Amino acid sequence: MFLVFPLVGIAALWLVGDALPHALSAGFYFLCVLPSTVSSSVALTAAARGNVPAAVFNATMSSLLGVFITPLWVSWRLQASGQAMPLGEVILDLVLWLLVPLALGQGSRLFLREWAQRNRGWLKYVDRVTILVIIYTSFCDSVAGGVWRDQRAVDLIAVVVGSLVLFVVLMLIVRAASRALGFNAADRITAMFCGSKKSIAQGVPMARLIFGSDPHVGLMLVPLIVYHQLQLILCSVLAERWSKRKDES
């Protein structure tokens, strides 16, 4: 996840060269170094009759490690381009804004589990609304800064096509690696879902914390938003298909 995906992204961006605007290229790179999702990876693995405990473990570890590994990859790219990033400060901010709330939330389950179960109908929308607000404010900043003024429709089409190609390539790589390692069908499904998905829930706040007040943040988030929608659609189709399989080997 944190090695193959970034290397594939680096190779793809090298092949594309300067065909994409710098902000979109940076957005694709940022997408490639993000952690995996948790909820959707587990839900899709369960729907496809995969190895759910392995999915929970891998997706959770990806989210935790991403707080430290994602900024390291971003820092490396910035240094390669002659820029600098206060790595320690960024990681500390990510810990405070992502890991500490996660720890508090898990701890509160001891006292609020029953209340959360009773109100889960509307609680599930809280994180979605929060993400939408952050995305909206990022796009507002980019519009106010005139970032979108020079963007071409062909660039947005390229983002959609590039996201689709990236998803397919990663699925094929993970599938081949899983077969080579002798995984059974359930474990291959788990690896493919956890290894190809990216978390918009972590990606959006990470972008705001890592890139700060950069007016191009809204544009950088476009590849992540497009990829997120594609992965949900395609993985749902695959989960439905794999759930009907007869061969368990």
Q: Give domain limits for the chain.
A: 4-84+124-242
pTM: 0.87
Residues 22/215, Cβ–Cβ less than 8 Å:
no
Decide which of 1.20.1440.230, 1.20.1530.20, 1.10.150.80, 1.20.1250.20 is the CATH code for 4-84+124-242: 1.20.1530.20
Is residue 63 within 8 Å of residue 199, measured between CB atoms? yes
Q: Measured in whole angstroms, how far is the alpha carbon of residue 198 from the centre of its chain? A: 2
What do you get for the CA distance between the two ends of the chain, in Å? 24
- Tell me if residue 101 falls in helix, strand or coil: helix
pLDDT of residue 147: 60
HSE-CB for 38 with a 13 A CA cutoff: 13
Output the six-digit token pair for 17.
Answer: 């060269």
CA 2 to chain CA centroid, nearest Å: 11
Tens digit of pLDDT at every position of the chain (249 positions): 788 999 999 999 999 888 888 889 999 999 999 999 888 888 899 999 999 999 989 988 998 999 999 999 999 988 877 777 888 889 998 899 888 887 887 788 778 878 877 877 777 777 677 777 777 776 776 667 666 666 778 888 999 999 999 999 999 999 999 999 999 999 999 999 998 889 888 888 898 888 877 778 888 899 999 999 899 999 999 999 998 887 654
- Per-residue pLDDT at 247: 61
Torsion of CA 116, 119, 124, 130, to 10 degrees: -90
pLDDT of residue 201: 83
